Structure 1
Amino acid sequence: MNGNRYYGVRVEGAKYGVGFGSALAIAISCTNNHSILWAIIHGILGWLYVVYVALFR
Structure 2
Amino acid sequence: MEPSTSGARQQLAELPYRLLAAEDTSWFDIPAVRLVGAVLGTVLLIAALRSMFGRGR
TM-score (norm 2): 0.44
Return the structure number with greater helix share: 1
Q: Which has the higher contact order (CA 8 A, sep 6+)?
A: 1
TM-score (norm 1): 0.44
